[in-house]
Structure 1
Amino acid sequence: MRAKRLLIVLAAVVTALLAGAVPASAHAALLKTDPAQNSVVATAPTAVTLGFSEGVLLSADSLRVLDPAGRPVQQGAAHHAPSGSDTATVALRAGLARGTYTVVWKAVSADSHPVSGAFTFSVGAPSKTSAVVPQEPAGGGAVGTLYGIGRCLAYAGFAVMVGVSVFLTVCWPRGAGLRVMQRLAVSGWAAMVVSTLALLLLRGAYADGAGLGKVADLGLLRSAVETRPGGALVARLLLLAAAAAFLSVLFGAYGRRDDPRERRDLAFGLGVGGAVIAVGIAATWAMAEHASVGIQPGVAMPVDVLHLLAVAVWLGGLAALVTALYRTAGVDRGAVRRFSRTAFGCVCVLVATGVYQSWRQVGSWHALTATAYGRLLLVKLGLVAVMVAVAGVSRRWTGRLAESARPIAEAEPTAVAEAEPEPSGDPARAAQLARQRAAIATARIRRARDADPARSGLRRSVLAEAAVAVAVLAVTTVLSGTEPGRAAQAAAGAGAVPAYQGPAFVTFPYDTGGPHGKGIAALHLDPARTGHNELHLELADPAGKPVDVPEVRVAFTLDGGARSGGAGAIGPLPVPLEHLDTGSWASTTVQLPLAGRWQVSVTVRTSDIDEVTETKEVTVG
């Protein structure tokens, strides 16, 4: 029960990690735009063109151009330019009026991750704009969180299904007859089926940046199936149907075979068929994610398949060994030693494939610490190092493991009790005696299992190894949704256009010079992007208690030098404030037409003559 409770806690931790994880970074970076971001052009353009760092998949509404009143002015659907799939364009209506126009874009990068953003340009001169940009980037929000949880569940299910199957066919064939081991393998298969179906349903809304209400949209589902990531998910479902047949033979005909020759022949067929299925399922990740884009994809995809298989055999085998040590009468020393050798081989494969993948995805030593991908990779490497150290402890316990004096049970304790003849007579009395015999048999088996100190030490070390493995799976899931370090640095070097800027929060002290004139102002601008924003302002005394003042004003100003492509300043743009509560003001009508480093001025008046204005810089993306 302790092992079960620990695994439940670890699963909750993984879910919390994924729920708090940031949305996937932009894997296809926006490198250039025509018209240029924040530029002021003399004549109205006939089209808007975006250039990305890699090929992108477009939908009909991937490019929307909004006039100062927020009305769409694009003509037709977004499409790839003749120069290639890394360029998107859309035509504009003729005769656009003067003012600031907002371009809202979204796409799916070649490695299956959605990207989105917004920028502005002006015709003739900048102006105010009421254009509304999406509050959530594509791949974010509740859909993004659920998609991340589904990805983690798919990885975990794959590891359990493959690892347990290898453990039972290579290391401990006798365990294939135990119901607890059968349930473990089937639970991995079921997790993969459920997660794959969920990912397929979520895929359209995830890539489109839509909310949960669009998950059941058949049009989005059809569009998702027609893409490479959607096709990979469909292929995974078909392979899981074949995996169901594999498991039925493994726990049916193979588990009941007593003749060594028949068992050996059936094991060979299961090994070949299972290997084909496992490679095929692993390829559904390799063909649609990081390995399929960038440098050397022809080498990277097979290497990625090997990496995934090694992870599954090692981590899933650990799950099988933990279950065997805690939930069965015991596992013999030969099986533990065979798994130890298998796990060592998996570690060797992981080191070789991991070094290549790290070089390919990170690209430089500097990117290990300068990019989110590199830092996550360092965390994963640290966790794997801890796993290897704990595995070394497990190997030492394996060497000390004494041969069990009693044979390994071929049935579960309840089955042993049920096999004894039941007394005739009162059925209720017979059932009571059967439960008593089951309890006695279970206690006897547990005492025999726990009598060997080496076996107890092995159980603890393997459980610790499995606990670290859960953390490794969580970090791997987040890592697979993060922009590779090589791509991030290449995009930065090419002057990539920023996508979405997060909310801005600034605090500063003020002193009007009069009685009770000192305090602290805190301003929160959300989402700190061009177009529509919301502003919240809090005033407090030096002790942190909210205070009201007779008057407070907020204004935004953009200097000409703080933006690209234009001359002269914009503003000050006053912000109408609504008093909400003591020391609290808000505005839901903040319109910022251009990206850049805006100066936000807060004027506080505490009496008829005591007033001060404080200014801070806020970056608007």
Structure 2
Amino acid sequence: MSSLSLDWDFAAPRIQYNSGMSPLRWLILLVILPLAVLTQAHGYVLRAIPADRSTLERPPTRLQYWFSEALEPRFSEIHLRDQSGAIIASGGVDERNPALLTMPAPADLPDGAYIVELRPAFASDGHVIAESRVFFVGEAVGGISGSAADDRAIPLEVFWRAALNLANFLFFGAASLYALTLLPAWGNVRYRAYLPERVMRRLRGIIMGALLLAIAANMLALLQQTMVFFNTSAAQALEQNLWQVVLIGSRFGDVWVFRMVLLLFSGALLFAAAYYRELFPGLALGIWRGLPWLGALFIGLSMITSHAAGSLILPWLAIAVDWLHALAAAFWLGGLLSLTAILPTALGPLDAQTRRAALRAVLSRFSRMVAPLVLLLLVSGLYNALNFFFSPSDLVSSYGRSLLIKLLLVAPILLLGGWQRRSLPAGSLAKSLPMLRLEALLMLALLLTVAWLSATPLPEPAIPQAEVAAPQASQQVGDYSISLAILPGGPGVNTVDIVIKRAEQPVDELTLHLRLVAPERDRRSAWQLAEAVDVGLYVAVGDDIDRAGKWWSLVNITDADGGVTRAAFEWEISAAAAIQVSRPPNPLHLLSLLGIAGLLVYLVAPLARRFIVALQLTVASALIALAAIGISMAVMVGGALMIAQRQQEYERTLNPPPAVVNNVLPDADSLARGRSLYDAHCAAWQDQPQDLERLLKRLPNARDEFLYAAAQDGWRDLPACADELTASQRWHIVNFLRSKERRD
């Protein structure tokens, strides 16, 4: 339908509608993409050591609980209680891994039952869950069990989320309605904003109301979050100014401040558009056309703190799809509510025939735009559901029941919208407006279920995690009894707990250094100082174990007199012990993504056609353009593959597989034998102190095969050691030489 003036003046020049691109679009990308890296949403326990209701033969040295996302260090807690309920130890978020709740266990826990209380505060959406788990030392004890986390939504959170979503949807819907529906249908250049002032006044009221509602919802969100973080009442949160701690000490506070700044900025823009509409009409028009992009930014801020960011399946893509889902819903609901409020004001002064034509013009355009968005809503909703439902039991969880209620509300809305679209040609304002209001009321009810869904914990997925016991072993070296455990014991970040005892008593005032070695690759970590966290308990954390296979843990124990004792442990690290934090997409995900891509192509096709027409392409120029695009894509793909191949070659050049592999564990016995063999067969090295000093200085970066070659063939002026040495004896010498490495 052609553009229609509200005064039905076909002689008046009408606008040439151009969707254009606002600079605010780049602001959205610059803000949403970095924040998406920093946030995830509403996590759950991925792995627990010790496992719930496990029976241990000996007390654990440390309790560790890995979550699917980062936690708020100031508000997350872990407590250990005995079976009488008394707290005997407490811990918090690990300094190296923000997704890990950990605590050292007291030494020599007696046999019995122990309860672990977990209270993680998730950094993304601020949700706090409280649950408890049980483990036993010695034998299991009956009558003691843990408590599961409450999976119900908090009503106050549902309220402010519903209010905030309504505000965001109204802002985006009203602004998009102006740019994409009202201007093409009713726009006329005789008006400064291309629409009559009575219509613009109503639009300004809607958007200003949305901003005020968003500010109020944001304030309520801060209060509710403070109550949850501190487990306190609203009165105490206000009287003790606890909200200030949340504001400056949490990621929720960071997002809250950023959202408030954007809300105030939007209010300033709206004021400028109204104040300068007479003096600078072009500025006012530009602001109005840029408001949809700002509304998309508001919705995006909600998406990066939603469930989608915590998806185990391509979280970046989940955020993008959830954003598209919310934008489509916002245009439909926000545009419908705005249209319902605008139509009486806009069409009231017109006669019946003009009113009917104007109504048909705007509703037909709005319906044409909503139709593909409804399909986008359904397909993107299917993709979102596939990210969180992995088994039939998930459907009967609180989240699954909330989603079912949402779907039950979607059906009548779709039926009502379809019926209204079919009856559009014969419709009048008196008949259409009540149906629009009914549809808007149903969508408001749907918005409430969406808020309830956002505030409801996700069902904990059954992640295929092998029950692999954490590597741990004990040995006696001299007077020391040494126990070492690697948690969780797979590739990735691990905590190494070392317990030192002498005569069954924990020993302190020792200095421990730890080194991890992959002998088959001839690679080793730097010596790391293990921190003394309790009497006899020393802890080191690192990500040096980067793949499965054979590994050595070397421990140097230095006493107060400077004496050094070596302990060495050999492990077979299993990839199954690693913490699994991702899952691959299944065929239904791929089909959903293809459907979303097709709908996006359909939506942007008109813009693409106008762009191609503006280029005035001929057959020859079109072929050249297609060839250039194809060659560019081939060059980019080929370049990426070439860079990846060069990186692999560079890695192989820096760290080639060793020609000879050290298969002798460098424990205290190997060092003693190596010293004896060195003194007996490499004594000539002492006659070349300068070359020997140069060799020792190369130890931090030297490989074992280099030292083996030096002992076998000599190096510089250092002669070869005795020819009659076996390979095993030479490796003992290598281990002894490496023990002389300086750690300063």
Q: What TM-score comes out, normalization by structure 1 length?
A: 0.57
Higher mean C-alpha displacement, 98-107 vs 380-389: 380-389
Seen in structure 2, the aligned counterparts of structure 1 residues 154 and 164 have a Cα distance that, compared at 3 Å, is same
1:271 to 2:293 alignment? no
Letter in 1 for 2:227: A
On the 8 A contact 1:69/1:129 being kept in 2, the answer is no
CA drift at 1:241: 0.7
Q: Match for 1:334 among 346, 358, 375?
A: 358
Taking the TM superposition and a 5 Å limit, the aligned residue runs for 1:402-441 are none
Any idea what the Cα deviations from partners look like across 1:81-111, whole Å, max 9, x if unmatched?
Answer: 86x4443211233243443322110113465
**Matched residue, 2:298:** 281
**Matched residue, 1:511:** none
Higher mean C-alpha displacement, 107-116 vs 307-316: 107-116
**Matched residue, 2:614:** none
Taking the TM superposition and a 5 Å limit, the aligned residue runs for 1:121-520 are 121-125=135-139, 144-169=154-179, 170-171=181-182, 173-174=195-196, 181-216=203-238, 217-219=240-242, 221-223=244-246, 225-254=248-277, 263=281, 266-272=284-290, 274-294=291-311, 295-326=313-344, 330=348, 332=355, 333-334=357-358, 337-352=361-376, 354-363=378-387, 367=392, 369=395, 371-401=397-427, 454-484=428-458, 488-491=460-463
Q: Name the CA distance, whole Å, in 2 between partners of 1:240 and 1:220.
A: 20
Give the superposed CA RMSD: 3.7
Match of 1:37, SS state, is: coil
Match of 2:52, SS state, is: coil
Q: Name the CA distance, whole Å, in 2 between partners of 1:116 and 1:184.
A: 41
Any idea what the Cα deviations from partners look like across 1:113-161, whole Å, max 9, x if unmatched?
Answer: 3332012223345669999x99x967979xx321221011100111222
On the 8 A contact 1:373/1:483 being kept in 2, the answer is yes
CA drift at 1:41: 3.2
Any idea what the Cα deviations from partners look like across 1:534-567, whole Å, max 9, x if unmatched?
Answer: xxxxxxxxxxxxxxxxxxxxxxxxxxxxxxxxxx
Q: Match for 1:41 among 47, 53, 56?
A: 56
Match of 2:48, SS state, is: strand
On the 8 A contact 1:66/1:72 being kept in 2, the answer is yes
Seen in structure 2, the aligned counterparts of structure 1 residues 201 and 225 have a Cα distance that, compared at 3 Å, is farther
Seen in structure 2, the aligned counterparts of structure 1 residues 358 and 47 have a Cα distance that, compared at 3 Å, is same
Seen in structure 2, the aligned counterparts of structure 1 residues 88 and 265 have a Cα distance that, compared at 3 Å, is closer
CA drift at 1:288: 1.7
CA drift at 1:64: 0.9
Match of 1:44, SS state, is: coil
Seen in structure 2, the aligned counterparts of structure 1 residues 269 and 250 have a Cα distance that, compared at 3 Å, is closer
Q: Match for 2:130 among 116, 128, 134?
A: 116
Seen in structure 2, the aligned counterparts of structure 1 residues 228 and 69 have a Cα distance that, compared at 3 Å, is same
Q: Match for 1:78 among 92, 107, 110?
A: 92
Q: Name the CA distance, whole Å, in 2 between partners of 1:44 and 1:317.
A: 62
**Matched residue, 1:602:** none
**Matched residue, 2:597:** none
Q: Match for 2:77 among 62, 82, 91?
A: 62
Any idea what the Cα deviations from partners look like across 1:29-66, whole Å, max 9, x if unmatched?
Answer: 33443233233434333322223344444446510112
CA drift at 1:276: 3.5
Bigger strand share? 1
Q: Name the CA distance, whole Å, in 1 between partners of 2:178 and 2:359.
A: 9
Letter in 2 for 1:310: A
Q: What TM-score comes out, normalization by structure 2 length?
A: 0.48
On the 8 A contact 1:28/1:52 being kept in 2, the answer is yes
On the 8 A contact 1:80/1:89 being kept in 2, the answer is yes
Seen in structure 2, the aligned counterparts of structure 1 residues 114 and 357 have a Cα distance that, compared at 3 Å, is farther
The unaligned stretches of length 5 or more in structure 1 are 1-25, 402-453, 497-621
Q: Name the CA distance, whole Å, in 1 between partners of 2:402 and 2:236.
A: 32
CA drift at 1:394: 3.2
Any idea what the Cα deviations from partners look like across 1:411-466, whole Å, max 9, x if unmatched?
Answer: xxxxxxxxxxxxxxxxxxxxxxxxxxxxxxxxxxxxxxxxxxx2211012111111
Seen in structure 2, the aligned counterparts of structure 1 residues 341 and 228 have a Cα distance that, compared at 3 Å, is farther
Match of 1:119, SS state, is: strand
Seen in structure 2, the aligned counterparts of structure 1 residues 398 and 291 have a Cα distance that, compared at 3 Å, is same
Any idea what the Cα deviations from partners look like across 1:243-269, whole Å, max 9, x if unmatched?
Answer: 212332444444x68xxxx75663234
CA drift at 1:369: 4.3
Seen in structure 2, the aligned counterparts of structure 1 residues 140 and 482 have a Cα distance that, compared at 3 Å, is closer
The unaligned stretches of length 5 or more in structure 2 are 1-40, 187-194, 468-744
CA drift at 1:188: 1.7
Letter in 1 for 2:252: P
Higher RCO (C-alpha under 8 Å, 6+ residues apart) = 1
Percent sequence identity is 21
Q: Match for 2:45 among 25, 30, 36?
A: 30
Match of 1:115, SS state, is: coil
Match of 1:482, SS state, is: coil
Seen in structure 2, the aligned counterparts of structure 1 residues 70 and 381 have a Cα distance that, compared at 3 Å, is closer
Q: Name the CA distance, whole Å, in 1 between partners of 2:462 and 2:281.
A: 55
Seen in structure 2, the aligned counterparts of structure 1 residues 175 and 475 have a Cα distance that, compared at 3 Å, is farther
Letter in 2 for 1:352: L
Q: Name the CA distance, whole Å, in 1 between partners of 2:88 and 2:381.
A: 44
Moved over 6 A (4+): 127-131, 138-141
Letter in 2 for 1:122: F
Any idea what the Cα deviations from partners look like across 1:579-601, whole Å, max 9, x if unmatched?
Answer: xxxxxxxxxxxxxxxxxxxxxxx
CA drift at 1:196: 0.7
CA drift at 1:283: 1.8
Q: Name the CA distance, whole Å, in 2 between partners of 1:296 and 1:73.
A: 41
Q: Name the CA distance, whole Å, in 2 between partners of 1:247 and 1:268.
A: 11
CA drift at 1:308: 2.3
1:51 to 2:61 alignment? no
Letter in 1 for 2:430: S
Seen in structure 2, the aligned counterparts of structure 1 residues 175 and 290 have a Cα distance that, compared at 3 Å, is farther
CA drift at 1:326: 5.0
Q: Name the CA distance, whole Å, in 1 between partners of 2:144 and 2:314.
A: 46
Q: Name the CA distance, whole Å, in 1 between partners of 2:344 and 2:362.
A: 19
On the 8 A contact 1:35/1:48 being kept in 2, the answer is yes
Seen in structure 2, the aligned counterparts of structure 1 residues 124 and 369 have a Cα distance that, compared at 3 Å, is closer
CA drift at 1:242: 1.5
Match of 1:490, SS state, is: coil
On the 8 A contact 2:70/2:98 being kept in 1, the answer is yes
Letter in 1 for 2:322: D
On the 8 A contact 1:97/1:123 being kept in 2, the answer is yes
CA drift at 1:187: 2.0
Q: Name the CA distance, whole Å, in 2 between partners of 1:266 and 1:348.
A: 30
Q: Name the CA distance, whole Å, in 1 between partners of 2:341 and 2:211.
A: 17
Letter in 2 for 1:299: L
On the 8 A contact 2:321/2:384 being kept in 1, the answer is no
Q: Name the CA distance, whole Å, in 2 between partners of 1:193 and 1:384.
A: 28
